[in-house]
Structures are given as C-alpha cells and as structure tokens.
C-alpha cells in the first residue's frame, strides 16, 4: 500500500462535451485517500448552464432534464475546494482533460482554488506506458474484474482507484511516492504549466510556448520578436487557465524589464565631463580680480 504524506484525491468528471475551454461539468465524483488509509467520497450532479450534447448524453447517460434543477458549479465551488483541501490530484486521463476542465470551472466561478501547488498522477499515462489499454481493459487486466456501469463518474473513478493500487502492487519499479508517480505519469520531456499543453517549462526551467509556429521558444523571446502574439492568445479561444499562466509570466517579464531598465538606467547615466583646467584656476582670489580688471580695462 502506498504511504501518503498528504491526501490523494481521485476524481472524475462527466461533461457536456470534450472542449476544455467551452464545455462544462455535469457530474463530479471524488474519492479522497487519507494518509491513515481511510477514504472519503464526494459525488454531485451539476447544472452546466449550457446544453449537454447528444453524443455526451449517450456516453454518460445524463440528460438536460436530469440536471435542470441541480446546483451550478459556482454554487458548489467552495464545497468542492474544501473537500479536496490540500490533496494531490489523480484520475484517468486527468492531466489532459479532467484537471484543465476543473481549473476552468474554478476560474469561471471566481474561486481561487490553486491547482498548480499540487502533484498530478494520471493513471492512464501509467497504464499506457506499461500496457497500452483502455480503462475497462485496465480494470480487467489489473483487477481481473469486469467494469460494470462504465461512464458513471463514481463507477469509473472507483475502477481508476483500484487500477492505480493494483499497478503499484504489480510493478516493482514504480516507487510508492506521489512525486515520482506524478513525474512518471507526465507525458513529454517538458513540464506542462497550463494542463492544455500550450505553455511549458523547458529543460533550462524557462517558460516556453509548446505549440504552433513558436513551439520551443521562450515567452520572453517571442514577446521581443512578435509582441502581438501574446495579445492574440488572450483574445483567441484558449482555456482561461492557459491565459492566466501567460498573464503571470508576462507580468514577471514586465517586472524584470522594469528592474533591468532602472538598473541599466543608473549605470548608463552620462558621467560628468571634467572642465579643462584653465591657467587662472591656480590663481588666488585677489589675482583673479586683478586679472579680470585688466581684461575689461577697469
């Protein structure tokens, strides 16, 4: 069994669709494992305030009629944040979908729940690196059980939790440490900063764009080459959290530029030019007066 130093919250979301930026949560389920081995469960249907797509309803079975009287995410944001507390987060495909969607909902609700100060364990990434299968196959492979009631949020996350614990028992090279597992379940060499994968840290610890024509370039470098690119991203259809990460980095760059400008400004002040020493500079005051009288004929 894994030794936890802080709680680990497994969670799963059912949503109106698959668009991280625009789709909303219709159901959330959380199982929080505590360091003492006990667990707590939270489950709630949510009114997304937009229509659930027909395709999504066919998958999770939740219709618009079923959630029309449910609370909105803004109504439950504080209780969700309180339930998760300081826990690290885990899920199935959670790094790519559930965590960014949750971050969007918290920002949309005006809640300052900080997802960046946590470790993220993506059970799907561990599974794909080890076996390359789906959740149902993973449940069968690791737990020797058939996954019933698939795409119910609570059933899916129960299976995810069981698969994760079975993975730890099966693979001796998987350290039972959340920091190791978060790093192992991360995809790619760059550390993603915004969950959607648009902004990342390179091997030198610099914030870079991780997509498009400027992929691999630092935010600072692109800002110097093409200042309008940042504004384009803020106005384009990117997730709110991606834009928030960019804003923080740009504010940091602006502050550093101001400090650098002030420092270089002081250093670059023109030194006072020394006046060429004139012969009369060595004269006494009386001699200078006499010299002036002689010059002007006084």
pLDDT values of the chain reduced to their tens digit, one per residue, 298 residues: 788 999 999 999 999 999 999 999 999 999 999 999 999 999 999 999 999 999 899 999 999 999 999 999 999 999 999 999 999 999 999 999 999 999 999 999 999 898 877 999 999 999 888 876 789 989 999 999 999 888 899 999 999 999 999 999 999 999 999 999 988 887 766 788 888 889 999 888 899 999 989 999 999 999 999 999 999 999 999 999 999 999 999 999 998 888 877 665 554 454 444 444 455 555 565 565 556 555 555 4
In a domain, 283, yes or no: no
94 and 132, same domain (yes or no): yes
Domain extent at residue 211: 191-267
Report pTM. Answer: 0.65
Do 70 and 101 lie in a common domain?
yes
Closest CA to 118 of 181, 199, 164: 181
> Is residue 272 assigned to a domain?
no
Backbone dihedral angles phi then psi of residue 134, each to the nearest 5 degrees: -95, 175
Residue 245 and residue 197 share a domain = yes
Q: Which two tokens stand for residue 74?
A: 């803004």
In this structure, is the dihedral angle defined by the CA atoms of residues 49, 46, 118 and 19, taken in order, positive or negative? Answer: negative
State the helix-helix crossing angle for 228-235 and 240-267, rounded to 10 degrees: 160
> Looking at the domain assignment, is residue 118 inside a domain?
yes
User: Could you tell me if 144 and 164 lie in one domain?
Assistant: yes
284 within domain boundaries: no
- Domain identity same for 118 and 251: no
Smallest CA-to-CA distance from 161 within 30, 280, 14 is with 30
Number of folded domains that form the chain: 2
Are 19 and 118 in a shared domain?
Answer: yes
Answer whether residue 296 is part of any domain. Answer: no
Tell me the CATH number at 181. Answer: 3.30.420.10
- Residue 141 and residue 62 share a domain: yes
The residue among 187, 214, 242 that closes a domain is: 187
């Amino acid at each position: 069994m894994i030794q936890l130093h802080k709680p680990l919250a497994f969670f799963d979301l059912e949503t109106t669709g698959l668009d991280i930026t625009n789709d909303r949560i219709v159901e959330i389920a959380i199982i929080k494992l505590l360091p003492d081995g006990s667990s707590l469960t939270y489950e709630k249907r949510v009114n997304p305030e937009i229509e659930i797509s027909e395709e999504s309803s066919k998958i999770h079975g939740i219709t618009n009629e079923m959630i029309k009287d449910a609370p909105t995410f803004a109504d439950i944001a504080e209780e969700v944040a309180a339930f998760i507390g300081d826990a690290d987060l885990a899920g199935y495909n959670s790094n790519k979908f559930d965590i960014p969607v949750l971050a969007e909902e918290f920002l949309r609700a005006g809640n300052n729940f900080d997802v960046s100060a946590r470790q993220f364990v993506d059970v799907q990434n561990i599974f794909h690196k080890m076996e390359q299968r789906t959740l149902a196959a993973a449940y069968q492979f690791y737990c020797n059980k058939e996954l019933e009631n698939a795409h119910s949020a609570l059933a899916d996350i129960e299976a995810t939790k069981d698969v994760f614990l079975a993975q730890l028992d099966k693979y001796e090279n998987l350290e039972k440490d959340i920091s190791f597992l978060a790093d192992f379940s991360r995809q790619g060499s760059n550390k993603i900063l915004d969950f959607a994968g648009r902004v990342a840290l390179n091997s030198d610890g610099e914030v870079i764009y991780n997509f498009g024509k400027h992929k691999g370039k630092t935010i600072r470098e692109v800002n110097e080459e093409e200042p309008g690119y940042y504004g384009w991203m803020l106005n384009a259809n990117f997730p709110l959290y991606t834009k928030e990460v960019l804003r923080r980095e740009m504010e940091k760059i602006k502050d550093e530029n101001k400090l650098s400008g002030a420092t270089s400004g002081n250093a670059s002040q023109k030194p006072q030019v020394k006046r060429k020493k004139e012969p009369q500079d060595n004269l006494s005051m009386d001699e200078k007066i006499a010299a002036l009288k002689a010059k002007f004929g006084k």
